[in-house]
Amino acid sequence: MIHSILKDKPTRIFVGFTAFFCCNALIAEAIGTKLFSLEKLFGLHPVNFSLFGQSGLAFTLTCGVVLWPLEFIITDIINEFYGPKAVRRISLTAIILISYAFLMYFIAIYMPPADVWIASSSRQGVPNIQDSFNAIFGQNMRIIIGSLTAFFVSQLVDVKVFHLIKAKTGNKRLWLRATGSTLVSQLIDSYIVLFIAFFHIFSWQLILAVGMMNYIFKATSAIVLTPLIYFVEGKLEKYLGHEVAHNMKLAAMGKENE
């Protein structure tokens, strides 16, 4: 039975996209504890923007944010070929797996460390590796809840905006519905996570300013990566065949009988 399932090309593609989507989301959450300077990455000085009364702002981002544009590219491709139900399914699957991973992180943190392990990295300048382990994997619960909530809500918004635009444009202007839906959903994503994680900790002006800096990066990434969506769509149509791909797109819009 499994051989007949995997012989079906649309099924094979969906399984592959789901696996990568969930894995990429989990990696993004895991490495999100590290902040990096986008300006330093390119050998530039901090931009020192001023927004909402906050000065000295720079592109200080989490490492995880680098991977999130790939999530929204996959979301748009799944939306295009499989429809909103498929996007909701893989989004919920990713959230369940990420929640499971964080639960395992916390269990691992509170398991008593072996004495030989605590000082095992002292030669690398880490006198107590248990403290480092706790700091890396022990994210604040509000950050976890904010991140998962923002991810789920932004995915739902992305699906809705994508299909609203597609209802107007049909199969034309993939760039408009893909980039447009991502720009809207990422704006919402940027602020949900910050308000849940840092409300009553940061001022609302600082939250707005930091959120906008994050959104500028995400929006720029979405625009720059738009050609990649066309590349992936072209490869999928070639792999599936024009007729199968066309029928899948119709079904994704609820028009499989046309």
Residue 14, pLDDT > 90, answer: yes
DSSP string, 53-100: TEEEE--EEEGGGGTHHHHHHHHHHHHHHT-HHHHHHHHHHHHHHHHH
Residue 200, pLDDT > 70, answer: yes
Q: What is the pLDDT of residue 94?
A: 94
Q: What is the pLDDT of residue 74?
A: 92
Least confident of 6-10, 234-238, 252-256: 252-256
Least confident of 19-33, 89-103, 165-179, 215-229: 165-179
DSSP-based helix, strand, coil % in the chain, nearest 5? 75, 5, 20
Least confident of 45-54, 114-123, 211-220, 242-251: 45-54
68-71 long-range contacts (CB < 8 A, ≥24 apart) are: 68/28, 68/189, 68/218, 69/182, 69/218, 69/221, 69/222, 69/225, 70/24, 71/21, 71/24, 71/25, 71/28
Q: What is the pLDDT of residue 109?
A: 93
Residue 258, pLDDT > 60, answer: no
Residue 53, pLDDT > 90, answer: no
Q: What is the pLDDT of residue 105?
A: 92
Residue 196, pLDDT > 60, answer: yes
Residue 35, pLDDT > 90, answer: no
Residue 32, pLDDT > 90, answer: no
Least confident of 191-200, 210-219, 223-232, 248-257: 248-257
Q: What is the pLDDT of residue 257?
A: 53
Average pLDDT over residues 131-160: 87
Q: What is the pLDDT of residue 19?
A: 95
**Percent of the chain beyond pLDDT 90?**
33
- pTM, 2 dp: 0.87
Quickly state the pLDDT bin for 140 (edges 50, 70, 90). confident
Q: What are 62-113's pLDDT values in tens digits?
A: 888 889 888 888 999 999 999 999 999 999 999 999 999 999 999 999 999 9
- How far apart are the C-alpha atoms of 66 and 30, rounded to whole Å? 12
- Check residue 57 and give left, alpha or beta (phi > 0: left; psi -120 to 50: alpha): beta
Q: What are phi and psi of 37, to 5 degrees?
A: -100, 115
Q: What is the pLDDT of residue 69?
A: 85
